[in-house]
């Protein structure tokens, strides 16, 4: 019996193993996020302590992202994913032992958070570069849709819920024990992955440039590729306008409406469920012919529900708005992930994936810092009007200025790609063999 389109990648044995590793990695992060917060609380830490612990984790992730992309193009991605899982498991195990023995201090927890962030900076580019090596291009949209559905379910719902139960029933230390166990289970799945070749080639003179030269090459490719640069710049400014009000101001709107932490959790859950549904819908269809236009409009128009938070105190309306917001955001992200994997040369995919992460989130700290002052200047209603109305305008401007319609018509991706031949076909099964078209900048297979 044929699998639904969104689940079709699971017919490939190698991807089933990678998907299991990804599921466990998402659970690891969901568990750690809650265990870390309540461990700070148990240590009598305040908002400043929590900011230190969480901030070091975020800083480590951003610092490592660019180097992680360069490493993903010169080191087997399987090896990097294994390092990530083992480092996370060992670091959180140390924190769990210190917690359960009653000697854990804030600075030690902050150090573990930093190590966790550094490891995560390696994960995303390595994972993104590995997927096209074991999944045929025709299934990449479904892969990104499936992962787009699992991310909010596991990272924002199941993982935090399990950690919350363990914290309430036992202690933050026991939640960290569970986090470490799941991380080591992810490492076991990574060990079962097939070996894939490193797709980075030596320079024309036979030399092998250094790591920072690789990073510069990724930057040069980004700047020289109009559709990529325009979308990343747009994403950075969209995040600047949108993420601060959603993360910082929504809890206060809920509080003013008489709600609290539980209602805030419902809103975040609605965002995640909407994102999961949107991802599965996109994954169940073919890639849009106007993929750049549709993607940017989904991100822009998807921010319109933010306006609702500025005009209502009704929780039901907020839940619907959050679900629509999540659906628009995640469905566009599914297209984006597929676009990177199909149009970026294989030898650059790790670096471009890390630049995607680094550039698009570069203005997030500024957005968080500006959200409060903006609400004081124009009120909650004004702040949410800005968050909801500016992104669609930026999307249209990006589409027109960067001439994205002409680019997407010149590089059609709506026709399903054939399955690859060679070693990848062996991992997928004999029935999957075929010939895959080249990405931009790569020769066609002979």
Give per-residue pLDDT as tens, 28-76: 988 888 788 788 878 887 656 766 787 788 778 877 877 877 787 778 8
What pLDDT was estimated at residue 397?
96
- On average, the pLDDT of the chain sits at 81
pLDDT for 183 beyond 90: yes
pLDDT for 265 beyond 70: no
Q: 275 CB contacts (<8 Å, ≥6 apart)?
A: 148, 149, 151, 152, 326, 327, 329, 330, 331
**Contact predicate 327/404, CB 8 Å:** no
* CB neighbourhood size of 217 (10 A): 18
What pLDDT was estimated at residue 200?
54
How confident is the model over 7-21, as a mean pLDDT? 85
All domains of the chain in start order, with CATH: 1-194+416-446 (1.20.1250.20), 214-413 (1.20.1250.20)
Give per-residue pLDDT as tens, 125-163: 888 788 888 888 777 777 777 777 787 778 766 777 788
How confident is the model over 318-347, as a mean pLDDT? 89
Q: 389 CB contacts (<8 Å, ≥6 apart)?
A: 304, 307
Identity of the highest mean pLDDT range in 96-105, 283-292, 404-413? 96-105
Determine the Cα angle at 376 with ends 372 and 381, to 5°: 95
- The packing angle between helices 172-191 and 159-169, to 10°, is 140
pLDDT for 433 beyond 60: no
Give per-residue pLDDT as tens, 384-423: 999 999 999 999 999 999 999 999 998 887 644 444 333 3
pLDDT for 166 beyond 80: yes
């Amino acid at each position: 019996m044929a699998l639904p389109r969104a689940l079709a990648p699971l017919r490939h044995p190698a991807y089933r193993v990678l998907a299991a590793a990804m599921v466990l990695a998402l659970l690891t992060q969901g568990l750690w996020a809650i265990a870390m917060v309540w461990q700070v609380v148990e240590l009598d830490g305040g908002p400043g302590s929590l900011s230190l612990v969480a901030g070091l984790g975020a800083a480590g992730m951003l610092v490592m992202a660019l180097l992680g992309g360069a490493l993903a193009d010169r080191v087997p991605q399987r090896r990097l994913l294994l390092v990530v899982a083992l480092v996370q498991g060992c670091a959180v195990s140390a924190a769990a032992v210190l917690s359960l023995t009653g000697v854990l201090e804030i600075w030690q927890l902050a150090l573990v958070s930093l190590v966790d962030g550094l490891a995560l900076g390696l994960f995303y580019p390595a994972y993104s570069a590995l997927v096209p090596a074991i999944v045929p291009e025709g299934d990449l949209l479904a892969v990104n849709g499936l992962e787009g559905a699992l991310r909010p379910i596991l990272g924002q719902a199941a993982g935090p819920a399990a950690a919350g139960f363990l914290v309430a029933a036992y202690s933050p230390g026991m939640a960290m024990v569970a986090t470490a166990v799941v991380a080591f289970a992810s490492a076991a799945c990574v060990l079962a992955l097939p070996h894939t070749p490193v797709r980075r080639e030596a320079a024309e003179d036979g030399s092998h440039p250094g790591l920072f030269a690789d990073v510069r090459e990724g930057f040069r490719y980004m700047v020289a590729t109009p559709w990529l640069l325009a979308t990343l710049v747009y994403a950075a400014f969209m995040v600047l306008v949108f993420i601060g009000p959603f993360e910082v101001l929504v809890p206060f709107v809920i509080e003013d409406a008489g709600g609290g932490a539980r209602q805030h959790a419902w809103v975040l859950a609605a965002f995640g469920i909407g994102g999961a549904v949107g991802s599965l819908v996109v994954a169940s269809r073919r890639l849009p012919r106007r993929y750049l236009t549709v993607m940017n409009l989904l991100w822009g128009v998807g921010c319109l529900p933010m306006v609702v938070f500025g005009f209502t105190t009704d929780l039901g309306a907020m839940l619907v708005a959050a679900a629509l917001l999540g659906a628009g955001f995640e469905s566009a992200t599914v297209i984006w992930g597929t676009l990177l994997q199909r149009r970026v040369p294989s030898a650059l995919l790790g670096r471009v994936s890390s630049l995607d992460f680094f550039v698009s989130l570069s203005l997030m700290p500024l957005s968080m810092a500006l959200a409060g002052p903006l609400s004081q200047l124009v009120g909650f209603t004004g702040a949410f009007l800005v968050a909801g109305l500016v992104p669609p305008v930026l999307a249209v401007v990006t589409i027109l200025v960067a001439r994205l319609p002409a680019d997407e018509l010149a590089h059609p991706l709506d026709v399903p790609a054939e399955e690859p031949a060679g070693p990848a076909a062996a991992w997928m099964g004999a029935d999957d063999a075929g010939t895959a078209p080249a990405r931009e900048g790569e020769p066609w297979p002979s």
